[in-house]
Structure 1
Amino acid sequence: MALIVALLSSLIVLSASSPADALSLNHYEKTCPDVESIVSKAVQSETRKDKTIPAALLRMHFHDCFIRGCDASVLLYSKGNNKAEKDGPANLSLHGFYVIEGAKKEIEASCPGVVSCADILALAARDAVVLSGGPTWDVPKGRKDGRTSKASETLQLPAPTFTISQLQQSFSQRGLSVDDLVALSGGHTIGFSHCSSFVNRIRNFNATQDIDPKMHPSFAASLRSVCPINNKAKNAGATMDPSSTTFDNTYYKLILQRKALFSSDQALLTNPKTKNLVHKFATSKQAFEKAFVKSMIKMSSLNGGQEIRKDCRVVN
């Protein structure tokens, strides 16, 4: 999943992105004033039924924004010979699409042809963080929905095996800084991971070591017990942290304890600047939340769409 392979297409994608100042906080003030409350109610309602929804929506928004900007291309269904993003290897575990689709249907009944699916997803991601006990923020709106969605482009997504240099390259190609990288990685404080994303650290790590020496031995042992050899349990895995439905700064504390799941998480300690930020956020939840909000607004403002979809699953 080396990002270098996709460098050219990534740069083309970025050149098509709209500037952040094209978005505004009052974009739907006159055309669809109830949009935020409709989305919020939808997220709350589905979270009551399934506590994994907030983490799913936050991850979905991130995966959307990193491919062609935040244009809801991740919501498009595969059609004919075209395999869409949602069916790409990195997105097969995404879920909760029905939350966005349901909110869109209700919004269309109230103000047809006005609100983009991309804006609905951005609002839902914010609501997901708030519902998990995290900070709130005003979401700039006015994104357009994209018409292109290719499973092959999901290879551009940061992989859980990435080194710090690969992570920095991935984020910088999207106009995101090292500070944004560390702050947005904090989204791993909620959610669940399948064994496939961290098995590289607990078995056959390298030619001489079975377990990643950067992982705490007892933590590695616990992961090996939930991810046995030749495991065929489709949903086997581990929560991102013990408080996996609460948005807090536990993620950074776990990195310092050598109990983070991914290689990419632990990699944040291999660079002086990112290491300092991990310490800062582990010490201060307030500092983390402030940085996270700033970086979310920045990432969410990447957009390269062309239309307002009537149905989030298909182009007009």
Structure 2
Amino acid sequence: MLGGPFYSVVLGRKDSLVSRADRVEGHLPRPNNTVSLLIALFAQRGFSAQELVALSGAHTVGFAHCKEFAGRMGLEASGKVDPTVNPRYADGIKKACADYAHRPTIAVFNDLMTPNKFDNMYFQNILRGLGLLASDQALASDPRTRPFVQLYAANQTAFFNDFVRAIEKLSVYGVKIGRFGEVRRRCDQFNSVKT
């Protein structure tokens, strides 16, 4: 629907019988992670730096709440803007998020150029200092990830092909087997409540 690539989705994946917010920290990337932390987090799960960059391209759609990037865009008391951010972009973000402290649901598109299209504009944006999240912008400057950012910015087909391989690999990571987990009838709730 958004113009991105097609990929296979394996049906019948078992979901966990436990879902706790306190188990998330340290297992998912954060918007202010360094590239070294991101690479280490992905490597622990068998993913390469290139796969990390390809999967980050999913940020070509979606949005982030202002609190996730307020510090780097000059929205906090210091007023300092991250020097890797395009100054005009930072000014626009400051206006869009001006009242975020009182309205925490205010959000901004990850990709300001083509927010409703799955394409390689995300990569072109971060090369221009238009990365919304610190973790995204950092991919453009680290020598371990920059070559992939440049490749995907210049070649949408390469991005799509690598994204498909990485997302299919991610979709089967940590699949539960046997009596562990369940195939849910509704994805937002357990099949039965256990006491």
TM over 0.5: yes
TM-score where L is the length of structure 1: 0.55
RMSD of aligned alpha carbons: 2.0
User: What is the match of residue 153 of structure 1?
Assistant: 23
Q: How many residues are paired up?
A: 185
C-alpha separation between the residues in 2 aligned to 1:274 and 1:163?
12
Could you tell me which runs of 5 or more consecutive residues in structure 2 were left unpaired when the two chains were aligned: none
1:308 to partner: Cα distance: 2.3
TM-aligned CA distance change 1:205 to 1:173, over 3 Å: farther
Contact 1:147 1:315 survives alignment (8 Å): no
What are the within-5 Å matches in structure 2 for residues 146-225 of structure 1?
Answer: 146-156=16-26, 157-203=28-74, 210-225=80-95
What are the within-5 Å matches in structure 2 for residues 53-132 of structure 1?
Answer: 131-132=1-2
Task: Pick which of 151-160 and 222-231 moved more.
Answer: 222-231
C-alpha separation between the residues in 2 aligned to 1:221 and 1:283?
27
- Specify which structure has the bigger relative contact order, considering alpha-carbon pairs within 8 angstroms and separated by 6 or more residues: 2
User: What is the match of residue 276 of structure 1?
Assistant: 147
C-alpha separation between the residues in 1 aligned to 2:50 and 2:100?
39
What are the within-5 Å matches in structure 2 for residues 40-55 of structure 1?
Answer: none
TM-aligned CA distance change 1:199 to 1:310, over 3 Å: same
Q: In structure 1, what residue type is equivalent to 2:104?
A: K
C-alpha separation between the residues in 2 aligned to 1:184 and 1:301?
14
Q: In structure 2, what residue type is equivalent to 1:216?
A: N
TM-score where L is the length of structure 2: 0.87
Aligned pair partner of 1:299 in 162, 170, 177:
170
Contact 2:35 2:138 survives alignment (8 Å): yes
Contact 1:186 1:251 survives alignment (8 Å): yes
Q: Deviations 1:174-210 (Å, cap 9, x if unpaired)? A: 2211111000000000011110111121127897x71
1:142 to partner: Cα distance: 4.1
Task: State the 4+ residue runs in structure 1 displaced beyond 4 angstroms.
Answer: 204-207
Q: In structure 1, what residue type is equivalent to 2:190?
A: V
Q: Deviations 1:145-167 (Å, cap 9, x if unpaired)? A: 21111110121321100000111
Q: Deviations 1:225-270 (Å, cap 9, x if unpaired)? A: 1112663123322111121110000000001000110100011123
C-alpha separation between the residues in 2 aligned to 1:178 and 1:198?
23
**Which structure features the higher share of helix residues?**
1
What are the within-5 Å matches in structure 2 for residues 32-47 of structure 1?
Answer: none
Corresponding residue SS for 1:193? strand
Contact 1:205 1:211 survives alignment (8 Å): no
TM-aligned CA distance change 1:293 to 1:143, over 3 Å: same
TM-aligned CA distance change 1:228 to 1:206, over 3 Å: closer
Corresponding residue SS for 1:238? strand
Task: Pick which of 300-309 and 268-277 moved more.
Answer: 300-309
Q: Deviations 1:49-90 (Å, cap 9, x if unpaired)? A: xxxxxxxxxxxxxxxxxxxxxxxxxxxxxxxxxxxxxxxxxx
Matched, 1:240 2:116: no
TM-aligned CA distance change 1:203 to 1:290, over 3 Å: same
